[in-house]
Structure 1
Amino acid sequence: MTEGDELVYDSRMSDSDALMWTIEKDAMLRSTITAVAVLDRAPDHDRLRTLLDRGTRIVPRLRQRVRANPLSIAPPRWEVDPSFDLDYHVRFARATGDGTLRDVLDMVQPIAMAGFDRARPLWEATLVEGMEDGRAALVMKVHHAITDGVGSVKLALIMFELERDPDGHADLPPPPEAEVMSQVVRWVDALAHEQRRALGIARRSGATVGGATARTAGQVVTDPAATASRAAETVASVARLAAPATAPLSPLMTGRSLSVRFDHLSVPLEAAKTAARAAGATLNDAFVAATAGGLTRYHLEMGVPADELRMSMPINVRTAETEDHAGNQFVPARFAIPLGEADPVRRMQTLHQLILEQRGEPALGFVEPMAAVLRRLPTSVSTSLFGSMLKGVDLVTSNVPGAPIPIYTAGGRVEHLIAYGPLTGAALNLTLLSYLDELHIGVNVDPAAVTEPERLVAALRDAWDEVLAVGAPRRSPGRPRRAAPRR
């Protein structure tokens, strides 16, 4: 598939992406996305390498490395690696143990923990063969600076095909050419970028003065109280967004480390949608409600109840104009979610309203200017400030729409597609990715925070059973109820 060539690739990082890149001076704040595609059979090695080679020619970002500018005048540039080596990025391995998914996830965890070689393009692919029943797993590791969850699905399409054995393959397109820039040219390029940015700000400000400001002045005269209220609301919203939160709200999940533990949940897609509709909520509300229910159970079973947890949730800000841009197009909302609500319907409804409020926060439009300020600070300072905003987060949730049709890679049919988002200082990250008629939820936890991960997964399963029961058809009295199969 070649959908990747429809994306627009900027030659320079945005300020928010540059900040994400900079704060990795603190290894706990690494932003690595890991995806595991379980295949019904091992793909052909040569076809897989050709597929990935073609992808790096179609998607220039996969052959580009990050190069900083002199004195960090402007955000870093994306530049083609003149020494690009496909064999460095594509690896092959054998499953350990009995070749179960659990065995594979145990192999993937240290891969996900390792930092990227910053002198090379920021991705790796590992094919794990020898799984039970002749299956295999293709593991893709990508740095979050390349793209967000929605964009990563588009990028991932280069690895997949619509048929097991498509007829014929076109010749490989030429690789992108490496650009050689001297230090002088880098200085000029960085200064020109900052000049264009200043002119753009001036134009937008001028348009405001010519139109919106006059309108606002009239509003101040006619309704000064409302104008002052809106300004105060915006200031308060920015303060909430930037407020330090160095301590988690959970009295239980307080430990932090550089390690991860991967688990997986599978939920029927249509049943989840039906349950959400029955509560007047969305699929994402059902996801967050099941997460909150599972964490309530886990805290109670561990003997340390909690009233609320601080959650971070990426809010997609893609527009019609930016839909096809490859970079990150999200803003991270941080807010407290209540625990302890036993009724799954009320829980979904409460969270639905809470999430709506977060999507309407005025501060969401100020994330990029705030990132521009933080990026210009000394690295140690920006890392410390941004880290103070992240390390008090208890959990991260992310909902990414996936492929509704069967996909293949080099002859192997994808059975399950699981994504694991980065912790970036949180105790756990739950990433929901739909594929065909199932929701696959990647559960990434810090074992220093979640000391009994299997108990947590069981609690999340039970909470999902509660949510799905909301949409289940009512049964006549006396009719035996069949237990839902555990996945």
Structure 2
Amino acid sequence: MHGERLSPLDVAFLCMESTTTPMHMGAVAVFRSREQVDPERLSALLTARAMRIPRLRVRVKHSRSPIGGASWADDPGFDPAQHIETHRLSTLYEEDPLAAHAARWLATPLDLSRPLWRLQLVTGLPGDSFALLLKLHHALTDGTGAVAVALGLLDDVPALSRTSTAEREPAKRKSFVDHLLENPWARASSTMGKAAESAGIASSVLLAARPYPMSPIATANSTSRELGFTTIDSADVRRVRSVHGGTTNDVVLAVLAGALRTWMRNRGRRPENGPLRALVPVSVRAREGGGQGGNLLSGYLTDLPVELDDPVERLCAVRRSMDRNKAAGSVRGAGALPVLAGRVPAGVHKLATRFAGQAAPLLFDTVVTNVPLPGISLTLDGARMRQMYPFVPLAPHHSVGVAISSYRKSIHIGLQANGDAVADIGSLTDAVGKSLAELLGTCP
């Protein structure tokens, strides 16, 4: 990890950082313990495990060459205990104390001069439960990499075949010259192919941009955040799939479309004016070799048909949109904007990324990402994980972002909202359950 260069996409996430748009991912995991929670023992355990993970030991080191470039360097004074804290909830004044506390904690930006992560152990939950809060900057890794880091903090799972993040150093990124010297003709051909690919993505981005007033749910940036936790049953989603077809992701997107439709109507907006547009990130680790530890992402732009009243019609519309994206491939279309960002020199990001980020509502209204978890039981110090809600960074001028994780028999959905735009996140989380119930009502 030490000495590894940040990719241009990694640098872009750093450049988008501001007090109102912190670019870290988050997670809230809830565990049920069989004995009284001992915060000191858990903190010591997490400290020891964090010390073994190379990605948690490094900080950003900016360089003059290439212009705007940066690399990861070991923090000489690294002490994981300084990144891990404890908090005991008070349940006196808030309807959902964990969500309210986690929202305030997650809203605080990370210190970019230090290793880009923090953990908080939260006690005071009902029974013998506790929560682990994590924030990890998007410059450090993508969602798949974040899961690998999190697994390194949890108990070992013999059934899970994995090379620990603590034991494996990601391959060092090679320079353009290195690649050309290895096989100049093949590399030149590949470079020209990627140039044509990039030009196609850029053209698609320009064609997909929408005129003012852009997004119907765009809002002013704010430091305030609201978090919503909601869970749906995987068996219910499978039932909808068996009747109406589509993938699990299609069904969840249709459920979210129905929830957003209800939420917009309750806010006095007119969903009938047309669909919302979601950026759905897609991992390209397999395509790119997967050995690198930073961001290896593309994406799809897909319509969330909030204008349709019938839940089955919404699902069919989502299926058509996602099928078109999959047929085109993960490196074509405006949704592949992250691929294009990964090919732009880092110095350009230093100059233009903040402006480009502010223009996000021209292309999409929300981000809906799926964070993969292993299909096995996970534990921390023997305590079984019951829920895990992931959270995606909120893009500039966006009202809400959505992250999804399937774990065991449930699908956990984390909603992060601009607190000034979405004062009552509970109405949106409730709408998710009602939207799924509408779909289930169409199943014989």
Q: Could you say which TM-score interval applies, normalised by the shorter chain?
A: 0.7 to 0.9
- Superposed, 1:237-256 pairs within 5 Å as 237-241=201-205, 249-256=214-221
1:453 corresponds to which residue? 425
Instruction: Select which of 17, 23, 32 maps to 2:16.
Output: 23
**SS of residue in 2 equivalent to 1:61:** helix
Per-residue CA deviations over 1:385-419 (Å, capped at 9, x if unaligned) read 34323576321111122232222112322111111
**SS of residue in 2 equivalent to 1:289:** helix
The answer to whether residue 124 in structure 2 is matched with residue 130 in structure 1 is yes
**For the residues of structure 2 that align with 1:133 and 1:212, how far apart are their CA atoms?**
58
1:291 corresponds to which residue? 256
Q: Identify which range, 107-116 or 243-252, moves more after superposition.
A: 243-252
1:274 corresponds to which residue? 239
The answer to whether residue 193 in structure 2 is matched with residue 200 in structure 1 is no
Q: 1:393 to 1:275 in 2, by over 3 A?
A: same
1:427 corresponds to which residue? 399
**For the residues of structure 1 that align with 2:259 and 2:58, how far apart are their CA atoms?**
41
**SS of residue in 1 equivalent to 2:344:** helix
User: How much does 1:69 deviate?
Assistant: 0.7
Which of these two proteins has the greater Rg computed from alpha carbons? 1
User: How much does 1:250 deviate?
Assistant: 4.5
Instruction: Select which of 269, 288, 297 maps to 1:330.
Output: 297
Per-residue CA deviations over 1:423-477 (Å, capped at 9, x if unaligned) read 1222111111111111110111112332442222222221121234455xx3xxx
Q: 1:288 to 1:131 in 2, by over 3 A?
A: same
Per-residue CA deviations over 1:112-147 (Å, capped at 9, x if unaligned) read 111111121111111111112232111111111122
User: How much does 1:303 deviate?
Assistant: 2.8
Q: Identify which range, 363-372 or 269-278, moves more after superposition.
A: 363-372
Question: TM-score normalized by structure 2?
Answer: 0.83
**For the residues of structure 2 that align with 1:39 and 1:211, how far apart are their CA atoms?**
48
Q: 1:57 to 1:354 in 2, by over 3 A?
A: same
Per-residue CA deviations over 1:58-86 (Å, capped at 9, x if unaligned) read 32010111111125536311111000122
Q: 1:319 to 1:470 in 2, by over 3 A?
A: farther
Structure 2 regions of 5+ residues with no counterpart?
Answer: 158-165
* Aligned amino acid, residue 204 of structure 2: R
1:15 and 1:368 in contact (8 A); partners too: no
User: How much does 1:37 deviate?
Assistant: 1.1
**For the residues of structure 1 that align with 2:219 and 2:363, how far apart are their CA atoms?**
9
1:438 corresponds to which residue? 410
**For the residues of structure 2 that align with 1:380 and 1:106, how far apart are their CA atoms?**
36
Instruction: Select which of 374, 383, 388 maps to 1:417.
Output: 388
RMSD (CA atoms): 3.4
The answer to whether residue 431 in structure 2 is matched with residue 467 in structure 1 is no
Structure 1 regions of 5+ residues with no counterpart?
Answer: 1-7, 164-172, 177-191, 217-230, 475-487
1:263 corresponds to which residue? 228
Per-residue CA deviations over 1:88-134 (Å, capped at 9, x if unaligned) read 10101110225988201111112111111112111111111111223
**For the residues of structure 2 that align with 1:83 and 1:409, how far apart are their CA atoms?**
27
User: How much does 1:277 deviate?
Assistant: 3.5
Identical aligned residues as a percent: 24
* Aligned amino acid, residue 443 of structure 1: L
Per-residue CA deviations over 1:287-313 (Å, capped at 9, x if unaligned) read 110111111122223332122212111
Q: Identify which range, 39-48 or 417-426, moves more after superposition.
A: 39-48
Q: When you count helix as a share of all residues, which structure comes out higher?
A: 1
**For the residues of structure 1 that align with 2:180 and 2:56, how far apart are their CA atoms?**
31
1:184 corresponds to which residue? none
Q: 1:137 to 1:89 in 2, by over 3 A?
A: same
* Aligned amino acid, residue 33 of structure 1: M
User: How much does 1:193 deviate?
Assistant: 8.2
Question: TM-score normalized by structure 1?
Answer: 0.77
The answer to whether residue 306 in structure 2 is matched with residue 339 in structure 1 is yes
1:248 and 1:309 in contact (8 A); partners too: no
- Superposed, 1:93-112 pairs within 5 Å as 93-97=87-91, 102-112=96-106
The answer to whether residue 370 in structure 2 is matched with residue 399 in structure 1 is yes
Q: Number of aligned pairs?
A: 422
**For the residues of structure 1 that align with 2:226 and 2:189, how far apart are their CA atoms?**
55
Q: Identify which range, 451-460 or 239-248, moves more after superposition.
A: 239-248
* Aligned amino acid, residue 205 of structure 2: L
